[in-house]
Amino acid sequence: MTAFVSLCVLIVIAATFLTLNALDINFPYDPNEPNLTQKLLPPSASHWLGTDNLGRDVLTRLLHGTYISLAVGFLAVGVSIIIGIGVGAISGYFGKWVDNIVMRVVDSIMCFPTFFLILTVIALLGPSIWNVIAVIGLVGWTGTARLVRAEFLTLREMTYVHAIRTLGQSHARIIFRHIMPNAMAPVYVTAVLGVAGAIMTEAGLSFLGFGVQPPQASWGNIIADGRTYILDAWWLILFPGIAIFITTLSFYLTGEGLRRAFAQKEAAK
């Protein structure tokens, strides 16, 4: 039930993002247009979540910041999942020296603190949403690779795989048609959890000034703008924090629900 509620929350968030982005709606105000006569107003009937130091409506900026969070989350995880599946499949299927070399590379990458590695690369490449997506995706594939490798090491020894090999099927056909569909269950869970992690990473980078650049709205840079006024304008910190919390918690609970569902399915076999 918890996972279902979390999934519904994610659907609502995604629908809001798609509607605003597809129709180019500035609701209820323009997210980037300053109005210094309205700056730092507390939540009211006209500005439900208050305004920031430039008089911009916080609710509008939060809604448009959803675009950044979901775009970074899904695209970065998509990149990491594709790389992780490919690397893990090759390593687990061929084994022996191929597996040893690939796993040593994976272990070497995992030795670096991920966030600081991303921070370093972004500092060198320059802050932008596309750099953030690319770097998170290129750094975050190691966990998926290890999961897929473990599944392939088990599945390649199954009787049906040996039977397919005797029929002369190519390695590519065996990997992608016969083994990979049965190895994807943990990848789905990892992907959902990875989106939450990517959203948190983007928020951290934007907070530090290495992510999405003003005036474009992002949950992280909204909090960064509000830290100077934390005692006078609490709403600039509270509401973006709640948005990040609810979204990431929903992804985590949905992922946990998927994990339990797949575990029950395996136990029933």
Q: For residues 183-196, give the mean pLDDT.
A: 88
Tokens of residue 182, six digits = 């049965």
pLDDT in the model for residue 259: 82
User: Could you give all domains of the chain from N- to C-terminal order, each with its CATH number?
Assistant: 2-17+57-268 (1.10.3720.10)
Distance CA 181, CA 187 (A): 11
For residues 131 and 19, what is the distance between their CA atoms, to the nearest angstrom? 25
- pLDDT for residue 11: 59
The chain-wide mean pLDDT, for the chain, equals 83
**Cβ(243)–Cβ(88) below 8 Å:** no
What percent of the chain is predicted at pLDDT more than 90? 10
Over residues 93-117, the mean pLDDT reads 86
**Rounded average pLDDT over 207-219:** 85
Asked whether the predicted pLDDT for residue 149 surpasses 70, the reply is yes
Residue 87, pLDDT above cutoff 90? yes
Q: What is the pLDDT of residues 227-240, one digit of tens each?
A: 888 888 899 999 99
Cα–Cα dist 9/248, whole Å:
11
pLDDT in tens, 159-179: 888 888 888 888 888 888 888
Structure tokens at 133: 């997506």
Q: Is the pLDDT of residue 83 over 90?
A: yes
pLDDT at 7 over 80: no
pLDDT at 34: 86
The model's pTM: 0.84
pLDDT of residue 5: 57
